Chains A and B, each alone.
Chain A
Amino acid sequence: MFSNRLFNLLVPLISVLLGFLAGAIIMLIFGYNPIAGYSALISGAFGNSYAIGETVRQITPLMLTGIGIAFAFRTGLFNIGAEGQVLVGWLASVWVGISFDLPAVLHIPLALLAAAVAGALWASVPGILKALRGVHEVVISIMMNYIALHTCNYIIRNYLSNNGDKSEVIAETASLRTTWLYEKMGYSQIHWGFIIAIVAVIAMWFILEKTTTGYELRSVGFNRHAANYAGMNVKKNIIKSMMISGVFAGLAGAMEGLGTFGHMHVHGSFTNLGFDGIAVALLGANTAMGSFFSAILFGSLKMGALRMPTVAGVPSELVEIVIASIIFFIASSYIIRWVLLRLKKEEN
Chain B
Amino acid sequence: MGNYVVEMLDIRKEFPGIVANNNINLQVKKGEIHALLGENGAGKSTLMNVLFGLYQPEKGEIRIKGEPVKVTDPNVANRLGIGMVHQHFMLVENFTVAQNIMLGVEPTKKGVIDIDKVEREVAELSRKYGLSVDPKAKISDISVGMQQRAEILKTLYRGADVLILDEPTAVLTPQEITELMKILCSLINEGISIILITHKLKEIMDVCDRCTVIRKGEGIATVNVNETTADELAALMVGRKVEFKIEKTEAEPKEEVLTIKDLKVKDSRRALMVKGLNLSVRSGEIVGIAGIDGNGQSELIEALTGLRKVESGQILLNQQEITHLSTRKITEAGVGHIPQDRHKYGLVLDFPIAENMVLQTYYQKPFSKNKIMSFNKIYEYGKKLIQDYDVRTPSPRTKARALSGGNQQKAIIAREVDRSPDLLIAAQPTRGLDVGAIENIHKRLIRERDQGRAVLLLSFELDEIMNVSDRIVIMFDGKIVADVKPSETTEQELGLLMSGSQPEKEGDI
Contacts and interface: CB of A to CB of B under 8 A. Distances in A.
Q: Do A and B bind each other?
A: yes
Interface stretch (A92-100, A144-152, A159-167, A225-233): A225-233
Nearest to A345: B16
Given A222-B349, A223-B348, A210 B327 contact: no
Interface in A206-237: 210-216, 218-219, 222-223, 225-233
A107 B305 CA distance: 50
B351 A219 contact: yes
B329 to A, nearest CB: 8
B373 A210 contact: yes
Contacts of B346: 226, 229
Given A211-B371, A212-B371, A225-B345, A231 B351 contact: no
A226 B359 contact: yes
B244 interface: no
A207 B232 CA distance: 55
Interface string B204-247: 00000000000000000000000000000000000000000000
Nearest to A220: B348
B337 interface: yes
A222 B360 contact: no
Nearest to B367: A212
A226 B348 contact: yes
- Tell me the interface secondary structure of chain A in the complex: helix
B328 interface: yes
A228 B327 CA distance: 8
Given A215-B362, A231-B328, A226 B345 contact: yes
A229 B337 contact: yes
B372 interface: yes
A301 B154 CA distance: 54
A231 B348 contact: no
B16 A231 contact: no
A243 B351 CA distance: 24
* Chain A residues touching B, range: 20 to 34
- Tell me the interface secondary structure of chain B in the complex: loop
Nearest to A229: B345
B339 to A, nearest CB: 6
Nearest to A344: B16
A75 B344 CA distance: 17
Contacts of A230: 327, 331, 359-360
A210 B372 contact: yes
Contacts, number: 66
Contacts of A226: 344-348, 359
Given A225-B345, A226-B348, A229-B307, A212 B360 contact: no
A213 B371 contact: yes
A280 B368 CA distance: 32
A210 B375 CA distance: 8
Contacts of A211: 371-373
Contact of A219 (B328, B344, B348): B348
Contact of A231 (B326, B368, B373): B326
Nearest to B345: A229
B363 interface: yes
Contact of B351 (A222, A228, A232): A222
Interface centre among A211, A212, A213, A230 (most CB of B within 10 A): A230
Interface in A170-228: 210-216, 218-219, 222-223, 225-228
Interface centre among A213, A226, A232 (most CB of B within 10 A): A226
Given A212-B362, A212-B363, A219-B359, A227 B348 contact: yes
B321 interface: no
B373 A212 contact: yes
A7 to B, nearest CB: 13
A341 B17 CA distance: 13
Contacts of A214: 373
B350 interface: yes
Given A222-B349, A225-B344, A215 B307 contact: no
Interface centre among A211, A218, A223 (most CB of B within 10 A): A223
Interface centre among A213, A216, A219, A345 (most CB of B within 10 A): A219
Contacts of B368: 212
A212 B346 CA distance: 19
A108 to B, nearest CB: 27
A233 B347 CA distance: 16
Contacts of A222: 348-351
Interface centre among A211, A214, A231 (most CB of B within 10 A): A231
A229 B327 contact: yes
A231 B371 contact: no
Interface string B119-135: 00000000000000000
Interface string A315-348: 0000000000000000000000000010001000
Contacts of B348: 218-219, 222-223, 226-227
Interface string B324-355: 00111111000001010000111111110001
Contacts of A213: 371
A89 B111 CA distance: 59
Contacts of A341: 16
A228 B337 CA distance: 13
Contacts of B371: 211-213
A267 B371 CA distance: 41
Contacts of A345: 16
Contacts of B373: 210-212, 214-215
A47 B255 CA distance: 81
B340 to A, nearest CB: 10
A153 to B, nearest CB: 40
Contacts of B327: 228-231
Interface in B352-385: 355, 359-360, 362-363, 368, 371-373
A227 B345 CA distance: 8
A230 B415 CA distance: 11
A219 B16 CA distance: 29
Contacts of A210: 372-373
Interface centre among B328, B331, B348, B351 (most CB of A within 10 A): B348
A218 B358 CA distance: 14
Interface in B294-346: 305-307, 326-331, 337, 339, 344-346
A345 B16 CA distance: 8
Contacts of B331: 230-231
A231 B372 contact: no
Contacts of A223: 344, 347-350
Interface in A226-269: 226-233
A216 B328 CA distance: 13
A210 B355 CA distance: 12
A230 B412 CA distance: 11
A262 B373 CA distance: 40
Contacts of A216: 362
Contacts of B372: 210-212
Contacts of B350: 222-223
A213 B331 CA distance: 19
Contacts of B349: 222-223
Interface in A47-92: none
6 contacts: A210-B372, A212-B371, A219-B351, A219-B359, A229-B307, A345-B16
Interface of A: 210-216, 218-219, 222-223, 225-233, 341, 345
Given A226-B346, A231-B327, 10 more contacts: A211-B371, A212-B363, A218-B348, A218-B351, A219-B351, A223-B347, A223-B349, A226-B348, A229-B327, A230-B331
